[in-house]
Structure 1
Amino acid sequence: MNRIILGALLFWTTTLWAESPLSSKMETYLVAEKNGQEVVTVTDEASPGDVVEYRLIYTNNAEQPLSGLEITGPIPANTAYLKDSASTDVSTEFTVSIDDGSSFEAEPVTRTITGPDGQTQNVIVPPSDYTQLRWVPENGIQPGQVLEYRYRVKVQ
């Protein structure tokens, strides 16, 4: 059975030094169904077909609000973002990337393609083609506040 070690993704996670005004961590959870109920458990590996939930957690350790935050979550290779699974409890501008973070845009992401007959049409890029997600909190993060951003991917 092929398993993906999720711990390797934690290189992306940044936990800043002790005096830093902002700290962050990334947690990974396996999402399964048991007796008709969704069960979410901490994990560090997954197999093809598994659904993994990422939680990006940011804490303001400063005595003043922090602004200008951009929270970016990766969509790892061999996984596909699950449509509408991104969530947070704060007002944000949510955008996605289909080019490994070179650019971000609001959903739905569309592209113009030219068919074999020379006709052009707009098509919606499927969420499974996303490579990164980004949230920009509208009000920054207040002293002592903890913000959590979640999203799910399916291991391919």
Structure 2
Amino acid sequence: MRSLIAALLFLPAFAIAQVTLTTEAFKIAVVNNADGTVSEQWIAAEEIVPGDKVGYRISYENTGAQPATGVVINNPVPDNTQYVANSAAGAGSDITYSADGGDNFAASADLVVNKNGKTRKARAEDITDIRWTLPEAVAPKASGSVEFQVRVK
């Protein structure tokens, strides 16, 4: 089983900076609002069953004294789940996806898979990994977060 571990890369590693990551998982509950609308709420993930949606939030903070440049956050889609299309988010980040276990990344519109000798556009169920690239330096003591959702199989 692939574990949900966010990997952090520094490219290039000229500045000495320390960026820490914290990953949290939430159950996504459907809430009926008083006005008759329906919305989703991220709540504590105490019990998860097949069919549930789970949201993962990866928070980052530069705890070093120098700006962190070229920060890249990689995260696999956990085993026994399926990525929820268009759910990856992260303000100010460039998001790319992999459908081959993290060897190759591309924008969702450009991601393809080769199944049974035929190449086709990748679908949500093909996504194996998500990558957020932060094009701007993360200042000392600055923080932010990225997130995505999956459905439990």
TM-score scaled to structure 2, two decimals? 0.79
Q: Judge conservation of contact 1:28–1:44 (CA < 8 Å) in 2.
A: no
Shift of 1:43: 1.4
Gaps of 5+ in 1: 1-7, 15-19
Large movers: runs of 4+ above 2 Å: 110-115
* TM-score of the superposed pair, with normalisation by structure 1: 0.78
Q: How well do the aligned residues superpose, as a CA RMSD in angstroms?
A: 2.3
Is contact 1:71-1:136 (8 Å) kept?
yes
Deviation at 1:137, TM superposition (A): 0.5
- Gap runs ≥5 in structure 2: 8-16, 33-37
Q: How far apart in 2 are the matches of 1:41 and 1:9?
A: 21
CA contact (8 A) 2:97 2:129 kept: yes
- Say yes or no: does 1:51 pair with 2:73: no
Give the fraction of aligned pairs with identical amino acids, expressed as a percent. Answer: 28
Does residue 125 of structure 1 match 2:126?
no
Equivalent residue number for residue 4 of structure 1: none
Aligned residue for 2:71, secondary structure, equals coil
Superposed, 1:1-156 pairs within 5 Å as 9=3, 12=5, 21-35=18-32, 36-43=38-45, 45-90=47-92, 92-108=93-109, 109-111=111-113, 123-156=120-153
Structure of greater Rg = 1
Which amino acid is 1:137 matched to? Answer: L
Aligned positions, number: 137
CA positional deviation for 1:107: 1.5
